[in-house]
Structure 1
Amino acid sequence: MIANLQSAEVASSMADNCSKDSNQNDNTSRSSSNNNNKSFITHIAHDHLISILLLLPIDSILSFAMTCKRFKSLASSDTLWESICRRDWGNSHVDAFLASAEIKQFPWRKIYQQVSQSSSISCRRLSGSDDGMFPSPRASHSLNFVSDCLVLFGGGCEGGRHLDDTWVAYIGSDFRRIPRWQKINSGTPSGRFGQTCSVVGDYLVLFGGINDHGIRQNDTWVGQIMCNEIDGIKLSWRLLDIGPLAPPPRGAHAECCIDDKKMVIHGGIGLDGLRLSDMWLLDISDGARSATWHEIIAHMSPPARSGHTLTCVGGTRMVLFGGRGTGYEVLNDIWLLDIAEEHPRWVQLIYESFNIPQGVPLPRVGHSATLILGGKVLIFGGEDSYRHRKDDFWVLDICAIPSIEMCSFTLNSKISSRKMWKRLKAEGHQLNCRSFHRACADRSGRYVFMFGGMVDGLLQPAEASGLRFDGELYLVEIVFHF
């Protein structure tokens, strides 16, 4: 990554030099070095220039386009902007988006512009089915999108009881249709809530959780979906062989998938209610037949916490947000990590909130954070230290965050980025304030499914509070105006 940063600095310098040359009067004599710079960059091959431009941020590319007609044409080409979309959003998101949306007639630059400037979402309720089969209300469960299906497992329900059921609903490409849920099995894995479940390749990998006796778990399970016309949908769980080493038991931790073959977990509530700050990596590159855990020791780790989120934002980079700390304080700090570095180090992103027009999200725990199309993290709901639940949607724009190398130089200073946070306008069905719900996105990142959580209900005479568990499924669609 350091090499990429140095290359980007060279490319940016070249673009700046070219821009300065173009703004000078043609009759003004130029120094020999400026002439050499101009001659050098104008003789670079087309494909090499595109490779250089792909090392630059968008603002620098747009500045480069203003230097001359040739560079304007190059910087507006479909070839370049498709590569930029794939660079910033990831190949899998772009390919799935192209397959699910009628956008192929639009130039790639317009597609990038519309996705980057999206400022609203549309909510739709997808609950109810003809056969009446539907998962019961719950919170702190797991919800994943894998093999074109939604998979829901476990969670907690009324009375503090855990659930051990697994439900599957085929979605396919008809995201707005009310899905038909199918109950697969119960008892395997054992009942729990506060577990994590990640999609790693074509597998589901489940770790930890807490049962209704308060016992923390540290077992690792693998689930695989099989779909065919004769047998329909089948899902099988099996205990994964991980060898002698495993993370300490915990629940309410955070996880994400890295490189499509590794899972990372962080923090959570361990034995005796102690909040944790450790980080572990599970390598399941052996076709999910076996796997190995090992602890990652990173410099300057975030404080211990639970109920936070850990989101992979491309490659080996991840973002940690929010949660509840050791003093039961609720947090809204942001930490960045690139796990591919030889000596991984967390970098806290500190910013001037008054420089961000729409403000920043208030501290929260039990929220959801989902990577969506455009290289952004969609954050919804959660609760504050007074257990006031929220119904606000925010996006954290990863493209507006400096690289980890750049952040490390500003560790003790505040980063000013007006584009980092944006609060989205919600259209359609109004979601109730909720916390400890679960969310997952389809392969394109345009459609996000949300299920369950704890919501504010109507007070009943025998109840001390209006808390209730929700059992509704919602579709949240990112709105674009093509």
Structure 2
Amino acid sequence: FPSSSAGAEEGPSPREGHSLSAVPGSGALVLFGGSPAFRSGEDGHATAWFNDLWIFQSLSEGALGEGGCWYRIPCQGALPKPRASHDAHVIVGGDGTACLVVHGGLVQQRYRVNDTWRVRLPKRNELTNLFRPAWEELGSADADMVPVPRFHHATCIVGTRLVVFGGHNYERRERNDTWVLEAGPATPVAAACWHKVAGSGGDPAVQVAGGPSGGRPAGLHPSPRAYCTLTALGPNGPVVLYGGSGARGQHFKDIWVLFLRVGT
């Protein structure tokens, strides 16, 4: 779509490994990060990875098919490292304020990170060069209280909470730990701490399909796996996990339901 509004720009450069997240009910899409859609150098690594923030705003609220404009959002203060293959979700608070939450990913030096960042998103009438939000880093500085760097994991949003499950660690071993972070726009940075749940004596998960007898009692947990999916069934959950693959080439078709306690 062409740009046609004051403050709008031509748009982001070609890229891959970025995230594109919808802002519910606003007709806006949020683009963050990625790596160039071309390679250079003897090692084939991409150059000049991105940590820029863009919003595509439809001309008519809620109607992307009518066209729209790209706006680059200039951010102040410390910024997330340029990255690709990260997770990003839009969370909308009770007062309608929206924020983008970015977790993990691959940085240009070819290693995985486990940091989490939040930035407030502009409303339609704030899409001007005067809107300069600041990124905030969330989560504990204690390495034992944050998810280890991982890939091929699954994430979803439950209300204003970010949920992370499983995936591969650096040794490419499958994991089955579940972590929850309260990351909504109204949550103070000091209160945005990770909470480890299933697999550590926390909230039970119930297998509802795919096992030898169909269902299993509460208190069990999914086996370690990667390439699975997480889906939230409502603003308070529950969270549904499906499938994935495990060690020795196992492939799963089981369904697990995780009921999160209020406040975790």
TM-score for the superposition, normalised by structure 1: 0.39
Between Structure 1 and Structure 2, the one with more helix by share is 1
- Match 1:280 to one of 117, 125, 148: 117
| CA distance in 1 between partners of 2:68 and 2:245 (Å) | 33
Alignment partner, residue 346 of structure 1: 194
| CA distance in 2 between partners of 1:190 and 1:205 (Å) | 14
Alignment partner, residue 192 of structure 1: 15
Deviations 1:288-341 (A, max 9, x none): 543321212425111112333332211x32211122222222322101122326
Counterpart AA for 1:242: C
Matched, 1:312 2:157: yes
- Match 1:327 to one of 171, 175, 182: 171
| CA distance in 2 between partners of 1:311 and 1:301 (Å) | 17
| CA distance in 1 between partners of 2:13 and 2:152 (Å) | 21
Alignment partner, residue 248 of structure 1: 81
| CA distance in 2 between partners of 1:321 and 1:354 (Å) | 12
Matched, 1:208 2:33: yes
Gaps in structure 2 of 5+ consecutive residues = 2-9, 40-44, 208-214
SS at match of 2:16: coil
TM-score for the superposition, normalised by structure 2: 0.66
| CA distance in 1 between partners of 2:244 and 2:13 (Å) | 26
Between Structure 1 and Structure 2, the one with more strand by share is 2
SS at match of 1:337: strand
> Residue 198 of structure 1 contacts residue 206 of structure 1 at CA under 8 Å; is this kept in 2?
yes
Q: Which has the larger radius of gyration?
A: 1
Deviations 1:432-469 (A, max 9, x none): xxxxxxxxxxxxxxxxxxxxxxxxxxxxxxxxxxxxxx
Alignment partner, residue 180 of structure 1: none
> Residue 254 of structure 1 contacts residue 308 of structure 1 at CA under 8 Å; is this kept in 2?
no
Q: What are the within-5 Å matches in structure 2 for residues 86-165 of structure 1?
A: none
Alignment partner, residue 292 of structure 1: 134
Deviations 1:134-190 (A, max 9, x none): xxxxxxxxxxxxxxxxxxxxxxxxxxxxxxxx9xxxxxxxxxxxxxxxxxxxx9433
| CA distance in 2 between partners of 1:250 and 1:308 (Å) | 17
1:262 Cα deviation after fit:
0.7
SS at match of 2:135: strand
Matched, 1:376 2:238: yes
Alignment partner, residue 54 of structure 2: 221
Alignment partner, residue 211 of structure 2: none
Alignment partner, residue 42 of structure 2: none
**Sequence identity percentage:** 27
CA RMSD of aligned residues (A): 3.4
SS at match of 1:242: coil
> Residue 280 of structure 1 contacts residue 295 of structure 1 at CA under 8 Å; is this kept in 2?
yes
1:355 Cα deviation after fit:
7.7
> Residue 253 of structure 1 contacts residue 308 of structure 1 at CA under 8 Å; is this kept in 2?
no
Counterpart AA for 2:17: G
Q: What are the within-5 Å matches in structure 2 for residues 409-424 of structure 1?
A: none
1:384 Cα deviation after fit:
4.2
| CA distance in 2 between partners of 1:354 and 1:252 (Å) | 28
Matched, 1:261 2:105: no
1:349 Cα deviation after fit:
1.0
Deviations 1:71-98 (A, max 9, x none): xxxxxxxxxxxxxxxxxxxxxxxxxxxx
Gaps in structure 1 of 5+ consecutive residues = 1-165, 167-186, 406-482
